[in-house]
Amino acid sequence: MEERLDRIGRQIDRDLDRHIASIQAVIRQPSMSTTGGGGTGIREMAETLQAAFAALGCQESEVVETSGNPIVFGHYDAGAPKTLIIYFMYDTEAVLPEEEWISPPMEGNLVEVPPFGRCIVGRGAINTKGPMQAFLNTVQAIQVAGEKVPINLKFVAEGEEELGSGSLAGFIQANVDRLKADDLFFPMPTQQSTGRTAISLGSKRGVIFEL
C-alpha cells in the first residue's frame, strides 16, 4: 500500500502545474447561483463538469435537468465491491464587493498569502470548486500512475447549494436506485492556520421554521 501511495504521490508532483491550471480553469468559469435569473455561468459550468466526468472515464456522465439549476451526475465503475457517492457543489456566491479581494476573484491567480505561501485566490477556490477539481485531479493521478481506483464512484454535483439545494431532494427521490451506494463523502479539505490539512467527516445543520 505504501509503495502504491508513493507512486501516486510522485505522479501528482510531476503533474502539479497541470493540476493547478485545472483548478484555475474552473474558478475562471463563473458559476454564481445567487445573482438572479438562473445565475451566472451555471449552465456552462454544468457542461464543463459533465465533460470532466467523461474525460475521467465515467461510464455515465449526464447533465440532469431539474426544477432549478441542473445537477451533474457521473458514474465511475471501477469494478470494486464498494461504491462511494461523491457530493459536489459547483455553484458559488457572487463576488461583490470586488474591491475587497486581494486579487481579481474570477482570475484564480497564485498569490502570496502569509503564512500559507502561494495560494490560489478566487471565487470558489475554497467553497468548493477548488476541492472539487482537486478530487478529480487525484482520481486522474491514480489512473496515470497505473494504479486501479479502489472504489466505484458516483458523482452528484448540484448548482443550487448557495440557494438552499431546492432541487436536490427531487433529484434523489427520482433516482433512488441509481444512487445506491455504501457511503457518501463531500470532499472539502481546508488548511488550518498552522498549515495542517483538516478534513471534515461530518457537520451539524440548521433548522428553519416559522412560528
Average pLDDT estimate for 181-196: 85
Which residues lie below 8 Å from residue 24, measured CB to CB, with a gap of 6+? 107, 108, 109, 120, 122
Listed ranges 21-25, 112-116, 124-128; the one with the highest mean pLDDT? 21-25
Average pLDDT estimate for 74-88: 98
pLDDT of 202 reads 72
Average pLDDT estimate for 24-36: 97
Is 2-198 a CATH 3.40.630.10 domain? yes
**Per-residue cell: 209:** 421554521
Lowest mean pLDDT among 3-12, 51-60, 109-118, 184-193: 184-193
pLDDT of 20 reads 98
pLDDT digits (tens, 9 = 90+) for 82-125: 999 999 999 999 998 999 999 999 999 999 998 888 999 999 99
- Count CA atoms within 13 Å of residue 43 on its CB side: 3
pLDDT of 205 reads 65
Please answer whether residues 156 and 85 qualify as being in contact, where contact means their C-beta atoms are separated by less than 8 angstroms: yes
Domain ranges of the chain: 2-198
- Whole-number Å distance between alpha carbons of 124 and 41: 13
Q: Quote the distance between the C-alpha of residue 18 and its chain's center.
A: 17
Average pLDDT estimate for 24-46: 97
- Whole-number Å distance between alpha carbons of 30 and 44: 8
Please answer whether residues 78 and 152 qualify as being in contact, where contact means their C-beta atoms are separated by less than 8 angstroms: yes
* CB-neighbour burial class of residue 151 (10 A; exposed 0-12, middle 13-18, buried 19+): middle
pLDDT at 195 over 80: no
Which amino acid does the sequence have at 72? V
pTM of the shown model: 0.92
Please answer whether residues 30 and 125 qualify as being in contact, where contact means their C-beta atoms are separated by less than 8 angstroms: no
